[in-house]
A and B are shown apart, each in its own frame.
Chain A
Amino acid sequence: MNRSVIVALIVISTAMGFTMWAFSSSMTPYVDIHQAEKITGQVQIRGKILHSTAHWSDSKHALVFMLKDKNNDLVEVDYHGAKPEAFDTAPETAAQGVLSKSADGKLVLVSDSMVVKCPSKYSDTKGLKNDTKAHSAAENRI
């Protein structure tokens, strides 16, 4: 075996090892709120957005809303960042962050990253098939 192949193998194996490490450390598991309470680091909680609770908090400079997970547990999410475009119509989100207790003992997910569903109105057939609203709305305008 010549030297260059050895060098190449070293590079590849180092890269592989590094990839494994990076991979395992950046897959944040989806957990429910109950499980999340036991984890101190980053978690990803998936659940329903309670849109009626969503508001911009001037003091926190954050989008604040309640998230309901599949066990119907509730947690407040303080999302520090620009609001994702599809947030308003998204039924669900997966919010990532660190769960902490606020001063008044409330559970708060301090989140910096959030994935939401695409705007359904524009994602092809869904917008029309399951409701007639889009259609009637179009008629109302005329």
Chain B
Amino acid sequence: MTPGAAGTFAVASGLFFSIVTIVLYILINVKKQTGKMIIAARAAYVACAASVFTSIGTLGWIVYHREYQYNYAVQHTSNELYNHWFRFAATWSGQEGSFLLWATWTAVLGLVLVAVSKDFEKIVVPIATSVIGFLCAILLKQSPYLLFLKVNPGMPSIPTEGLGLNPSLQNYWMTIHPPTIFFGFASLCVPFAFAMSALITRDYETWVKRVFPFALLSSGILGLGLFMGGYWAYGTLGWHGFWAWDPVENASFFPWLAVTAMVHGLHVQRNRKGMAKTNLFLGILAFWLFLVGTFLTRSGALASKGANGQLLSVHAFDNISKSGLNLMVAMLVVYGIAGLAMWLWRFKEVPGRSTTGDNLLSRDFAFFMAVVMMLVACAVITLGSTTPLFLSWAHRPPMAPQASFYNKVMLPLMLPVTLLLGAVPWMAWRKTDPDTFMRKLVVPWMLMLVFGFILLLWVQKSQAQLVNTMDAATYQSTMHNWINPAVQRIMVVLLGSLGFLAALSNSMLAYRVFRKRPLAAGGWISHVGIGLLIIGVIVSNTFERTQIITLKQDDGPQTVFGYTFSFERMTGVAPAVRPIDPEYDQKNHVVLRVTPPGGAQMEAQGQAGTFLLQPRWYVPRPSLNEESMGNPDTMFWPSIKKYASHDLYVALANQPAENLYSVNLLPKQHVKLGQYQIFYLKPIIQPLNYFGAVMGILMPNNKVIGIQPGEQFLKDGANQTVQNDSGQPIIYKTDESIPQIPSSANRPAVAILNSLNPQTHAVNVLFSLPGMPATWSIPLSITYKPWVNLVWIGVLVAVFGILLSMVNRIIDIRRPEAAA
């Protein structure tokens, strides 16, 4: 059996066994049967899971072994992809592969559920299985195992090379970020299944304890996935920030908000028996919102109609088949309607207790407000991200709200949230004695005022620096254009101080709890992280400063934000036909030597006062022909120098350019160029085929070297000239290199024909020769990002806290009820 047939068979068998599993479990529920029937149902489930594992294994095998007879391999891998991890990670770089990854994680979680969910098994497992069933159906309609020649009937033969993995994805994050975020996504079906089980069996209490670890798992893993995505975008992809409010990012953020709101609601229900209805709703909502997000990013709604291609999101998929899309819509409708109908049906009989009305100064109220505000944020982000969908349904031109929309809404919303975060550790359940509350809060409050004062001084200094160092256009483009400096000062100081209070109060309580029961401190620890994150986000976003410069090799070093930049070299190895173009080498780095403030003194004292920053720049260009077909994609990677207090973020703002020595000549003329004499004898003109200039260089040692820089018209198979989109023939340069003249200082000698007038025969030729080498102009975007480390530390601390809580809640299940 071919791997493709095996894969297709495995997907079909996954669908078959998922249906069998569901039917068996339904029978168990209806007939109240146990024993043999359960064993049969479990066996069917294991077969279903095994099928899913087989199908992803097969796809992995096809991609890893570059089986180019399959379209998926042609699309997603290439011979150049040599790193074993990337070769494997290419499996989930496409639409179908990521569906398969989702199915795989759901299958894994299903196995866990079979093992641990006990009396919930008979409802929870079939619901999880139904997700696998849907995914298998989608994969049958949108198969990753299609043969290349079937998909591309016009092609003469199976290619020997694939299109490859986008170089910006060739990063270790590609191997861990997608599996992590998809594990988080897949896990959202567990709270959904438990909520449905509670609603079906009318047991609104027991499920809380059982679902709690899973809800925390979703929140923690999704949080970790979001962190990885942000760090990847920041550190490697060169997005200049950790969060861009891109619809695809949002699509993973709003389910996180819903499931994290649920975690808070579950906490209330465990302690105070309140929010039962809310929790059931949130369990359903979180999974459904994930489906909405998936639909949004895969439906092509973010890719505008017509030939324009996608303009609204940087990384949405838009190639799902019609039937695959219909199945996605079916999932949205089925899970949405089933969940909502069940919830409304049982709404009246779910025990409601007005816990929230007791006292405004109580943990009950604080948690209630936390849930409310997370849901408000969730609603805003969901609405903002789905705007293009609604507009496309209304046949209006697609538009997406810009990042400033989210910033504007989130900033004021964060104020009460942060205040609550700082106050909640000093509140008691039910009712807090105001005097005790104030007494406990007094120390953190004083410290916060000290911090706030220092922050104010820092903010004033930074604002002055912002105005001084940024050029007007860049300054305008940041969030400063909607917030005036005074308001900005107040907001930053207020939010930063409250973030500090949140981190401080929670760490004080976390420390106290941790000493007695380490596992119980998880929630407080995660709040410490959120406090740090808030400070990091507000400060780094408001006070990052960017300056764009053109660093010229001739003009020497330039100083930005106190750092002096000088160009050292390019590390790429240029191909023989393009001797001065290092960018075709994937390992090309632009080596910059940076002298930080005070670096010169250190250097004078014999210490290493400088460091290297190496932003990367690479042009994937597989052949000479493709080069001439137009501008290929240019890849940029930033380079970051991390300090405790800030990052220095350096990226190329554009391709570096070579400055060469230009010579204009008519036939039989000559001209002096430095220590050389350049002669131009005659042109060679073959219309629509070749232009060249027969020239000579008189060297300082009186030797003459003949050269013939030229331009070749690109031909297709039938010897016809190939034209570009605007009808111009495509031309590429020939005979650039002058091998007779040895390289000096790593700069090879070149002569490039820039233009040749067919009437007057006048030529313009560009030279780089020993003693007068080509020099680089390097456009650099330099950003000073203060306090950005707090963002990463904050998220990691929060995720650690959440996962610690998860462990605590797993143990809690075994704990006798009285002790809880």
Q: Is the CB of A132 within 8 A of B154?
A: yes
Q: What is the 8 Å Cβ interface bit string for chain B, positions 534-572, against chain A (1 contact, 0 not)?
A: 000000000000001110100000000000000000000
Write out the residue numbers on chain A whose beta carbons fall within 8 Å of the beta carbon of B168. Answer: 85
Write out the residue numbers on chain B whose beta carbons fall within 8 Å of the beta carbon of A117. Answer: 308-311
Write out the residue numbers on chain B whose beta carbons fall within 8 Å of the beta carbon of A18. Answer: 408-409, 412
Given contacts A18-B412, A85-B633, A118-B314, contact A137 B622 (CB under 8 A): yes
Write out the residue numbers on chain B whose beta carbons fall within 8 Å of the beta carbon of A89. Answer: 630-633
- Kindly identify, within residues 596 to 640 of chain B, every residue whose CB is under 8 Å from any CB belonging to chain A: 622-626, 629-636
CA distance A59 to B482 in the complex (A): 28
Q: Is the CB of B369 within 8 A of A8?
A: yes
* Residue in B163, B360, B402 whose beta carbon sits within 8 Å of that of A134 in the complex: B163
Q: Is the CB of A138 within 8 A of B159?
A: yes
Residue A38 CB within 8 A of the other chain? no
Shortest Cβ distance from B454 into chain A, in angstroms?
A: 30
Residue B660 CB within 8 A of the other chain? no
Q: Is the CB of A29 within 8 A of B399?
A: yes
Nearest A-chain residue to B75, judged by Cβ: A124
* Residue in A80, A136, A141, A142 whose beta carbon sits within 8 Å of that of B477 in the complex: A80
Q: Is the CB of B473 within 8 A of A121?
A: no
- Kindly identify, within residues 409 to 433 of chain B, every residue whose CB is under 8 Å from any CB belonging to chain A: 409, 412-413, 416
Q: Is the CB of A142 within 8 A of B160?
A: yes
Q: Is the CB of B373 within 8 A of A128?
A: no
Nearest B-chain residue to A120, judged by Cβ: B309
Residue B151 CB within 8 A of the other chain? yes
CA distance A133 to B476 in the complex (A): 43
Nearest A-chain residue to B148, judged by Cβ: A128
Write out the residue numbers on chain A whose beta carbons fall within 8 Å of the beta carbon of B45. Answer: none
* Residue in A63, A113, A123, A141 whose beta carbon sits within 8 Å of that of B161 in the complex: A141
Q: Is the CB of B636 within 8 A of A4?
A: no
Q: What is the 8 Å Cβ interface bit string for chain A, positions 86-105, against chain B (1 contact, 0 not)?
A: 11111111101000000000
CA distance A140 to B155 in the complex (A): 16
CA distance A139 to B633 in the complex (A): 20
* Residue in B397, B623, B657 whose beta carbon sits within 8 Å of that of A56 in the complex: B657
- Kindly identify, within residues 353 to 368 of chain B, every residue whose CB is under 8 Å from any CB belonging to chain A: 354, 356-357, 360, 365, 368
Residue A106 CB within 8 A of the other chain? no
CA distance A77 to B548 in the complex (A): 17
Q: Is the CB of A137 within 8 A of B365?
A: no
Q: Is the CB of B625 within 8 A of A113?
A: no
Residue B687 CB within 8 A of the other chain? no
- Kindly identify, within residues 651 to 676 of chain B, every residue whose CB is under 8 Å from any CB belonging to chain A: 651-655, 657
Q: Is the CB of A23 within 8 A of B413?
A: no
Residue A72 CB within 8 A of the other chain? no
Q: Is the CB of A56 within 8 A of B416?
A: no
Q: Is the CB of B357 within 8 A of A85?
A: no
CA distance A58 to B780 in the complex (A): 11
Q: Is the CB of B623 within 8 A of A81?
A: no
Q: Is the CB of B399 within 8 A of A15?
A: no
Q: Is the CB of B319 within 8 A of A5?
A: no
* Residue in B356, B552, B653, B781 whose beta carbon sits within 8 Å of that of A5 in the complex: B356
Q: Is the CB of B402 within 8 A of A85?
A: no
Shortest Cβ distance from B231 into chain A, in angstroms?
A: 18
Residue B404 CB within 8 A of the other chain? yes
Q: Is the CB of A82 within 8 A of B781?
A: yes
Write out the residue numbers on chain A whose beta carbons fall within 8 Å of the beta carbon of B383. Answer: 19
Q: Is the CB of B312 within 8 A of A112?
A: no
Shortest Cβ distance from A22 into chain B, in angstroms?
A: 4
Write out the residue numbers on chain A whose beta carbons fall within 8 Å of the beta carbon of B163. Answer: 121-122, 127-128, 134
CA distance A89 to B717 in the complex (A): 24
Query: A19-B383, A141-B622 known; 9 other A-B pairs, CB under 8 Å?
Result: A2-B354, A5-B357, A8-B368, A22-B404, A82-B238, A92-B308, A123-B318, A124-B75, A125-B75
Given contacts A19-B380, A81-B781, A121-B633, contact A112 B311 (CB under 8 A): no
Q: Is the CB of B319 within 8 A of A23?
A: no
Nearest B-chain residue to A142, judged by Cβ: B160
* Residue in B354, B360, B408 whose beta carbon sits within 8 Å of that of A7 in the complex: B360
* Residue in A12, A124, A138, A141 whose beta carbon sits within 8 Å of that of B95 in the complex: A124
CA distance A126 to B631 in the complex (A): 17
Residue B164 CB within 8 A of the other chain? yes
CA distance A58 to B473 in the complex (A): 15
Write out the residue numbers on chain A whose beta carbons fall within 8 Å of the beta carbon of B777. Answer: 56, 58
Residue A83 CB within 8 A of the other chain? yes
Nearest B-chain residue to A129, judged by Cβ: B152
Write out the residue numbers on chain A whose beta carbons fall within 8 Å of the beta carbon of B312. Answer: 115
Q: What is the 8 Å Cβ interface bit string for chain B, positions 473-484, against chain A (1 contact, 0 not)?
A: 110110000100
CA distance A11 to B71 in the complex (A): 52
Q: Is the CB of B653 within 8 A of A81?
A: yes
Nearest A-chain residue to B716, judged by Cβ: A136
Q: Is the CB of B779 within 8 A of A137?
A: no
Write out the residue numbers on chain B whose beta carbons fall within 8 Å of the beta carbon of A134. Answer: 163
Nearest B-chain residue to A8, judged by Cβ: B372
Q: Is the CB of B631 within 8 A of A51?
A: yes
Write out the residue numbers on chain A whose beta carbons fall within 8 Å of the beta carbon of B579. Answer: none
For B, the interface residue count at a CB cutoff of 8 angstroms equals 89
* Residue in A4, A51, A88, A135 whose beta carbon sits within 8 Å of that of B633 in the complex: A88
Residue B166 CB within 8 A of the other chain? yes
Residue B471 CB within 8 A of the other chain? yes
Q: Is the CB of B653 within 8 A of A82?
A: yes
* Residue in B238, B365, B629 whose beta carbon sits within 8 Å of that of A4 in the complex: B365
CA distance A81 to B238 in the complex (A): 12
Q: Is the CB of A118 within 8 A of B310?
A: yes
Q: Is the CB of A28 within 8 A of B402?
A: yes
* Residue in B74, B402, B629, B781 whose beta carbon sits within 8 Å of that of A113 in the complex: B402
Nearest A-chain residue to B152, judged by Cβ: A128
Q: Is the CB of A11 within 8 A of B630?
A: no
Given contacts A23-B405, A26-B405, A51-B631, contact A82 B626 (CB under 8 A): no
Shortest Cβ distance from B651 into chain A, in angstroms?
A: 5
CA distance A40 to B688 in the complex (A): 48
Q: Is the CB of B311 within 8 A of A61?
A: no
Residue B809 CB within 8 A of the other chain? no
Q: List 24 A-B contacts (CB under 8 A).
A: A8-B356, A8-B369, A12-B376, A15-B376, A15-B413, A18-B412, A19-B383, A19-B409, A23-B401, A27-B402, A28-B402, A58-B550, A58-B777, A63-B654, A81-B474, A81-B548, A82-B653, A83-B654, A91-B725, A117-B310, A123-B318, A124-B75, A140-B623, A142-B160
Residue A43 CB within 8 A of the other chain? no
Q: Is the CB of B623 within 8 A of A112?
A: no
Residue B240 CB within 8 A of the other chain? yes
CA distance A22 to B75 in the complex (A): 41
Q: What is the 8 Å Cβ interface bit string for chain B, positions 697-733, against chain A (1 contact, 0 not)?
A: 0000000000000000000010000000110000000
CA distance A130 to B459 in the complex (A): 54
Q: Is the CB of A123 within 8 A of B319?
A: yes
CA distance A27 to B400 in the complex (A): 7
Q: Kindly list the 6 A-B residue pairs having the minimum CB-CB distance in the complex, ordered from nearest.
A: A2-B357, A112-B477, A26-B405, A88-B631, A22-B408, A117-B309
CA distance A11 to B633 in the complex (A): 47
CA distance A82 to B781 in the complex (A): 6
Given contacts A56-B779, A82-B636, A85-B634, contact A61 B166 (CB under 8 A): no
CA distance A29 to B416 in the complex (A): 32
Nearest A-chain residue to B308, judged by Cβ: A92
Nearest A-chain residue to B162, judged by Cβ: A138
Nearest A-chain residue to B377, judged by Cβ: A15
Shortest Cβ distance from A15 into chain B, in angstroms?
A: 5
Q: Is the CB of B625 within 8 A of A136?
A: yes
Residue B57 CB within 8 A of the other chain? no
Shortest Cβ distance from A31 into chain B, in angstroms?
A: 10
Nearest B-chain residue to A59, judged by Cβ: B550
Nearest B-chain residue to A78, judged by Cβ: B473
CA distance A142 to B635 in the complex (A): 24
- Kindly identify, within residues 311 to 349 of chain B, every residue whose CB is under 8 Å from any CB belonging to chain A: 311-312, 314-315, 317-319
Shortest Cβ distance from A96 into chain B, in angstroms?
A: 8
Write out the residue numbers on chain A whose beta carbons fall within 8 Å of the beta carbon of B405. Answer: 22-23, 25-27
